[in-house]
Amino acid sequence: MKPPRFAQPNGPRTGLARALSKLGFCSRSEAWRLIESGRVRLNGVPCRDAERPVDLRRDRVEVDGQPVAAASKIHLVLNKPRGLVTTTSDERGRDTVYQCFEGKALPFLSPVGRLDQASEGLLLFTNDTAWAAVITAPETHLDKTYHVQIDCVPDESLLLRLREGVFSDGERLGVQRATVLRQGTRNAWLEIVLDEGRNRHIRRLLEALNIAVLRLVRVAIGSLQLGTLAKGASRELTPAEVSALSRFSSGAARPRR
Which residues are catalytic, by number? 116
Query: Three-state SS for 58?
Result: coil
Distance CA 148, CA 214 (A): 8
Distance CA 148, CA 231 (A): 17
Enumerate the β-bridge partners of residue 75.
126
Distances (CA, A) of 227 to 63, 98, 142, 188, 231: 40, 21, 18, 21, 11
Cβ(147)–Cβ(190) below 8 Å: yes
Distance CA 255, CA 4 (A): 50
Distance CA 124, CA 242 (A): 11
Distance CA 203, CA 205 (A): 5
Distance CA 107, CA 25 (A): 6
